[in-house]
Structure 1
Amino acid sequence: MGFDQARANRIFLPETYAEGVPYELFRELRAEAPVCWVEEPAVGDWPAGPGYWAVLRHADVKHVLRSPEDFSSHLGATQIRDPDSPADLEFARTMMLNQDPPDHSRLRRAVAAAFTPRALRELAASIEQRADELVTAVRPLGQVDFVPLAADLPVWTLARILGVPEQDQQLLVDWSNRVIGYQDPDYADSATADPALLTAPGRAALARRPTAVTTPDGRPVNPRSRAALADMFGYAHALAEQPPPGSIVARMLEAGLSTAEFETMFFLFAVAGNETLRNGLPGGLYSLLTHPDQYRLLCRRPELTASAVEELLRFWPPVLEFRRTATRDVVLAGRRIRGGDKVVVYHASANRDPSVFPDPDRLDLTRRPNDHVSFGFGPHFCVGAQLARIQFSALLRRVVAELPGLELVPGARPTRLVSNFQNGLKNLSIRWG
């Protein structure tokens, strides 16, 4: 049987992931075409794209991620969808995520001090306390939607790191929903922040929220563009007028970042910094509760929490893929890739590669080693990975210890985020006792 292009195209379509990550399709493609061409048909209001090379095996994914000289984050940025205009691409390129060394290294150094072992130790105690408060507050209820509960911890943590007042934390949620959930009608236009609770800069940002921003030909603009995020960037500049000492905002100003670099760095922390864990925590708990033998194992052996976090991240990677652009003609897994072609690495596929993970579709909290790529690899390995582990461990440990007999609410089927980028749940009803 020849290569089925229509079948391969399914890994691009956002609606595919609304039904679950297509692990069986990834398995088949890894075996027959581990680097394969994927077309980009039009999706809703978004126009068709030129297509890209999907990279599906663990070794090839790591090769692409550690080789910026061949596979650039800067040339076309890191999202499958191309920016709407050369100006939007130029703005996107100022973000640390969309830089190659040495410029990437300069920006990374500007914020790295916030993630030193000492800084993380100081944060860890307050994160443990917050996790305890969250679980203690819901324990008498007997049942809760875990998604908003899980969202609180990373948003609260990022607000502290950025210096965002507690009253304005909901703005971080709304910005994330708009950017990450733009393919999902439930999230694309969500605005939940209560103006009465916000600070004056927060209310000003809410008033500046763009509506119906379109390109010259009438299409909705990319949600990551400067025009679509004018309210968030305005808030960032207001925060910068009196930045809390020691905050990421203060560090960015001290590092002398340009205006565009400051804006995109704030974007990176405000959105990517909380959205990954907002998806990873509910997805991890869902994975655990649908494997009751592993849940019971963790109840009996809480010392497995650290390895459980790694396995849950492997099993439910919060980020499905990232894009690079070939800098020159190269050969990867026998396929000739031309300079300028898009190359998209699939973390979700690499994390189930049987050449690296024995019995990869089995959840095994004792799995070691666990060389998952959920935090990326190479120069762009997630700068906040250890902070994410601290938060994941803190909440998982409290939930398992304080909510006995945990299970999914019968009949309350969780709903998945419609996205080909983030692997998320929109709700997860759990009960205990």
Structure 2
Amino acid sequence: MSVDPTPLVDPRSYVDGVPYELLAALRAQAAVVRVAEPPLLGLPAGPGFWLVLRHAEVTDVLRRPGLFSSWRGGTQIRDPATAEDLGYVRQMMLNRDPPEHGRLRRPVARAFTPRAVATLEESIRANAVALVERVLGDADEGSFDFVRDLAADLPLLTLADVLGVPEADRWLLYDWSNRVIGFQDPEHATSAAFDPRAGTAMAREALRHRPTPAADGRLPDPRTRAGMADLYAYAHLLAAAKRREPGADVMSVLLAERGDERLSVTEFENMFWLFAVAGNETVRNALPGALIALLEHPAELARLRRDPGLFDTAVDELLRWWTPVMVFRRTATADTTVGGVPVRAGEKVVVSFASANRDERVFVDPDRLDLGRHPNPHLGFGHGPHFCLGAQLARCQLRALLAALLSRTTELGYAGRPTYLRSNFQRGVKRLPVRWRRRRPST
């Protein structure tokens, strides 16, 4: 009997966790399955897509951008609502194919070399320690929300440094990420955590452009330019400030480019969107996901406490087990086959990182967390020309925050149930109540 994959497109299927049993059943049947796109949550029906489930086929699709295009239809499962919307998002590096993708990637890649990340490590570790000490205070034990109190703030501080955003404005990045990644979740779709009184004049000016909610309280689709007008207004205000006083940050680098690598206005806007949203959200969800993995595997948590050197392999295993970005879409440019299944030109091909990272053909006992797993060819950062630029920076942040927390506590556990994001794209955590007991120096 064939297994119905339709629940995988419904964001509500993920509020209690990823349906890994369904993915495993589908993966056992075939490398590729056809998935329908019924009308859901106010969105119209779509044409359906091919879902690629196994590791080998996922990597094959991602390494061939000429045949499986990011540009043709964008990288989100659902098609943009209008041709104008598609034309705009096509200007983003994420949605470009070589050679244009390389033209956009080369200038910013300099900010993410191992040497560049190494210069940030000290400040990341210092920020992680300061955040943990702030949360624990002078108490011997207590509880806190790991998502809001720790996991949200560290990537914001890091990204503000990398992107060149004033630290006082970093919670604007938080709201923008919520609205984009959480647009399928009513709690996140209208996020407004930023306090304009604590921000810069640029931030207050940008907020004047924040879209107005409709009568039903919904904001415009954040995947369109109109839906994020405040983000783009801020991008231009920040650019003007960087032109007056350039620094070593990514914004200054982009603005300094000349000749063939100079960005158009729409390319610049999309680049800022990409860093402000994607550069923040993936790490913000990987951090609580990593802690959930450890809490669900207490023996592995104890193992990591005993041997901090295990972090060298642990970080990648935590990313494999959690997999923050679950899927990405490509579009076939010619008739072809994937996993023996015929695919026609123009059809959507969606790769499932969540499934590939649990593929029994590659990972022994894939549902088990093994912090010493090696080799570990997980796809948490993608594969091929679009491999995540910030992979090393993400690893650094996970290691820094978990190391700071584990070294200052003797016990960690749930203080309540985690609350998950309603999304079929990002494996997000909205709340993670954690109880703790502090480690005190022995006398």
TM range (shorter): over 0.9
Aligned residue among 77, 83, 86 for 1:86: 83
| Separation in structure 1 between the aligned mates of residue 82 and residue 98 of structure 2, nearest angstrom | 24
Q: Counterparts of 1:12-411 in structure 2 under 5 Å? A: 12-140=9-137, 141=139, 142-148=142-148, 149-212=150-213, 221-243=220-242, 244-255=246-257, 256-409=262-415
| Separation in structure 2 between the aligned mates of residue 67 and residue 35 of structure 1, nearest angstrom | 17
Q: Counterpart amino acid of 1:223?
A: P
| Separation in structure 2 between the aligned mates of residue 27 and residue 261 of structure 1, nearest angstrom | 39
Deviation at 1:220, TM superposition (A): 6.8
Q: 1:383 aligns to what SS in structure 2?
A: coil
Q: 2:49 aligns to what SS in structure 1?
A: strand
Is contact 2:155-2:284 (8 Å) kept? yes
Deviations 1:6-27 (A, max 9, x none): x211111101111211111111
| Separation in structure 1 between the aligned mates of residue 342 and residue 219 of structure 2, nearest angstrom | 34
Deviation at 1:293, TM superposition (A): 0.5
Is contact 2:93-2:104 (8 Å) kept? yes
Deviation at 1:213, TM superposition (A): 6.8
Deviation at 1:117, TM superposition (A): 2.1
Is contact 2:162-2:249 (8 Å) kept? yes
Q: Counterpart amino acid of 1:288?
A: L
Between Structure 1 and Structure 2, how many residues are aligned? Answer: 424
Q: 2:108 aligns to what SS in structure 1?
A: helix
Root mean square deviation of aligned Cα: 1.3
Q: 1:431 aligns to what SS in structure 2?
A: strand
User: Are 2:418 and 1:425 aligned?
Assistant: no
Q: Counterpart amino acid of 1:242?
A: A
Is contact 1:83-1:222 (8 Å) kept? no
Deviation at 1:212, TM superposition (A): 3.4
Q: Counterpart amino acid of 1:76?
A: G
Q: 1:51 aligns to what SS in structure 2?
A: strand
Is contact 1:27-1:349 (8 Å) kept? yes
Q: Counterpart amino acid of 1:430?
A: V
Could you state the TM-score of these two structures normalised by the residue count of structure 1?
0.96
Is contact 1:84-1:222 (8 Å) kept? no
| Separation in structure 1 between the aligned mates of residue 231 and residue 387 of structure 2, nearest angstrom | 25
The answer for unaligned runs of 5 or more in structure 1 is none
| Separation in structure 1 between the aligned mates of residue 212 and residue 380 of structure 2, nearest angstrom | 34
CA 1:91–1:392 in structure 2 vs 1: closer, same or farther (change >3 Å)? Answer: same
Deviation at 1:34, TM superposition (A): 2.1
Q: 1:10 aligns to what SS in structure 2?
A: helix
| Separation in structure 1 between the aligned mates of residue 296 and residue 395 of structure 2, nearest angstrom | 22
Is contact 2:421-2:428 (8 Å) kept? yes
Deviation at 1:87, TM superposition (A): 1.0
Q: Counterpart amino acid of 1:158?
A: L
What's the counterpart of residue 440 of structure 2? none
Deviation at 1:51, TM superposition (A): 0.6
Is contact 1:154-1:278 (8 Å) kept? yes
Q: 1:352 aligns to what SS in structure 2?
A: coil
| Separation in structure 1 between the aligned mates of residue 21 and residue 38 of structure 2, nearest angstrom | 22
Structure 1 consecutive aligned stretches of length 4 or more whose deviation exceeds 6 Å? none
Deviation at 1:306, TM superposition (A): 2.1
Deviations 1:256-291 (A, max 9, x none): 210000000000000000100100000110110111
| Separation in structure 2 between the aligned mates of residue 338 and residue 117 of structure 1, nearest angstrom | 40
Q: Counterpart amino acid of 2:117?
A: L
| Separation in structure 1 between the aligned mates of residue 225 and residue 64 of structure 2, nearest angstrom | 29
| Separation in structure 2 between the aligned mates of residue 345 and residue 431 of structure 1, nearest angstrom | 37
| Separation in structure 2 between the aligned mates of residue 305 and residue 195 of structure 1, nearest angstrom | 38
| Separation in structure 1 between the aligned mates of residue 208 and residue 241 of structure 2, nearest angstrom | 21
Q: Counterpart amino acid of 2:143?
A: Q
Is contact 2:211-2:219 (8 Å) kept? no
| Separation in structure 2 between the aligned mates of residue 74 and residue 276 of structure 1, nearest angstrom | 22
Is contact 2:155-2:397 (8 Å) kept? yes
Q: Which moved more, 1:221-230 or 1:67-76?
A: 221-230
Identity of counterpart residues, as a percentage?
55
Q: Which moved more, 1:132-141 or 1:52-61?
A: 132-141
| Separation in structure 1 between the aligned mates of residue 391 and residue 104 of structure 2, nearest angstrom | 17
Is contact 2:189-2:219 (8 Å) kept? no
| Separation in structure 2 between the aligned mates of residue 173 and residue 220 of structure 1, nearest angstrom | 16
Could you state the TM-score of these two structures normalised by the residue count of structure 2?
0.94
The answer for unaligned runs of 5 or more in structure 2 is 438-443
